[in-house]
Amino acid sequence: MTDNTVFLFAGYSVLWLLSFGYLLYLGRAVRELRREVKALRSLTEQGRLSGGPEG
């Protein structure tokens, strides 16, 4: 039997780095988009209250 543990370690490292890297990227994208939605919604509300384009 050959000792190829280093390849096993490399394989699992890549597996978890890629999976969790993608998950972090998605989590950040959701948070940023939600922040933008909230900001735009409050802008719309302000426009309504001050009799803007929709008022």
Partner 1 sequence: MGSIRRFEWLDLLGLVTGLTLLAGLYFALVYAPTERLQGPVQRLFYFHVPSAWVAYLAFFVVFVASVLYLWRRSAFWDRLGRASAEVGVVFTTLTIVTGSIWARPIWGTWWTWDARLTTTLILWFIYLAYLAVRSYVPDRNRAARFAAILGIVGFVDVPIIHMSVVWWRTLHPEPVVVRAGGPALEPPMLVALLVGLVAMTLLYVYLLIHRVMVEETRDDLQLIRQGLAE
Binding site for partner 1 (CB under 8 A): 1-5, 7-8, 10-12, 14-15, 18-19, 22-23, 26-27, 29-30, 33-34, 36-37, 40-41, 43-44, 47, 53-54
Least distance (Å) between residue 51 CB and partner 1 = 15
Q: What b/e string do you get for 4-25 counting C-beta neighbours within 10 Å, with b at 16 or more? A: eeeeeeeeeeeeeeeeeeeeee
Closest to partner 1 by CB, 51 vs 53, is: 53
Total residues belonging to the chain: 55
